[in-house]
């Protein structure tokens, strides 16, 4: 995808392990894989991970005649029971220094060119795409994680099925997302019949001094065994309502920042 400001974005669908199945060692391995993959991205890149949590009713596979007695009993037991459906998407974006700084003079009215100079440099674009390929290989080399590059049809949709962009603006994970009215007001945001409440966590004063990759879930743990959850689980599957959890990581020029701090 290419934005109107010529930012290049590559989108992935992320496959994560099931809840309550990951050990503390595996959480550490997953964290190390993310850290290693992010380090290969060039300066002025943006990593955006988006988690969808939508309430749905489980549809049991009761028509399969090959199911065993236990499997069929399990399907009947959970049939039509509500649960949170979790979908994960990852977006890697190549931006530029001016866009990352979000200066007010970045408007095309104040510049002599419509698109950033960096985007016209084919070597810079190829360097970013090679870094994305390397990022993909690093993540897929782990046993717990897998990312799949999304196609154009998956992003913008087809005549038969809506794409990710349609579903996002309608706040629906249904295949045929309909166009909804969007109201932006000072006191509320409404998309169709959905009322939206927005929360931002970016101030370091609101964050703990130390963060571990996982924590013990006491309700399912015993004296002899630990049930581990991700440190972000309170805003993930443990938050029992429809919500979208966005995480952003902006990669700047560390050498330039260090020089600026020393001044």
- Answer yes or no: is 188 within a domain: yes
Its pTM stands at 0.86
Q: Is residue 238 part of a domain?
A: yes
Angle at 155 between CA 14 and CA 193, to 5 degrees: 95
| pLDDT value for 118 | 63
Taking alpha carbons only, the member of 74, 65, 43 closest to residue 250 is 43
User: For residue range 192-230, what is the model confidence (pLDDT) as tens digits?
Assistant: 888 898 888 888 888 888 888 898 999 888 888 889 999
* 252, two tokens: 């700047």
Q: Is the dihedral of CA 187, 191, 194, 198 positive or negative?
A: negative
Q: Is residue 2 part of a domain?
A: no
Q: Are 53 and 86 in contact (CB under 8 A)?
A: yes
Taking the C-alpha atoms of residue 137 and residue 117, their distance in angstroms, rounded to an integer, is: 29
The residues pairing with 52 across neighbouring beta strands, listed in sequence order, are 87, 244
Please check the confidence at residue 113 and state whether its pLDDT lies above 70: no
- Is 152 a domain residue? yes
Tell me which residue range forms the domain holding 32. 8-262
| DSSP type of residue 157 | B
In a domain, 243, yes or no: yes
3-state secondary structure of 10: strand
Q: How far apart are CA 186 and CA 206, in angstroms?
A: 24
Tell me the percentage of the chain whose pLDDT exceeds 90.
Answer: 39
Q: How many angstroms separate the Cα of 7 from the Cα of each of 92, 96, 232?
A: 10, 8, 29
Q: How many domains does the chain have?
A: 1
30-39, 110-119, 163-172, 188-197: least confident range: 110-119
Residue at 41 is within a domain:
yes
Residue 3 resides in a domain:
no
DSSP conformational letter for 236: T
């Amino acid at each position: 995808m290419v934005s109107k400001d010529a930012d290049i974005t590559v989108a992935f669908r992320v496959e994560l392990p099931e809840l309550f199945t990951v050990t503390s060692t595996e959480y550490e391995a997953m964290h190390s894989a993310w850290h290693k993959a992010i380090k290969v991205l060039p300066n002025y890149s943006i990593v955006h991970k988006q988690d969808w949590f939508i309430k749905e009713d489980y549809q049991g596979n009761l028509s399969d005649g090959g199911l065993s007695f236990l499997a069929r009993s399990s399907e009947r037991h959970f049939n039509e029971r509500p649960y949170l459906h979790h979908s994960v998407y990852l977006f890697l974006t190549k931006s530029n220094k001016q866009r990352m700084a979000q200066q007010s003079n970045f408007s095309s009215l104040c510049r002599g060119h419509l698109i950033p100079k960096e985007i016209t440099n084919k070597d810079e674009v190829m360097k970013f795409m090679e870094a994305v390929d390397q990022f993909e290989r690093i993540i897929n080399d782990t046993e717990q994680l897998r990312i799949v590059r999304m196609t154009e049809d998956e992003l913008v949709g087809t005549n038969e099925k809506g794409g990710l962009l349609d579903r996002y603006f309608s706040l629906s994970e249904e295949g045929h997302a309909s166009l909804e009215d969007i109201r932006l007001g000072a006191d509320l945001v409404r998309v169709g019949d959905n009322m939206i409440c927005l929360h931002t966590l970016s101030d370091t004063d609101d964050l703990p001094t130390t963060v571990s990759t996982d924590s013990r879930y006491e309700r399912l743990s015993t004296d002899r065994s630990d049930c581990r959850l991700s440190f972000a689980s309170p805003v993930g599957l443990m938050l029992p309502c429809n919500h979208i959890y966005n995480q952003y990581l902006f990669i700047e020029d560390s050498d330039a920042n260090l020089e600026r701090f020393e001044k």
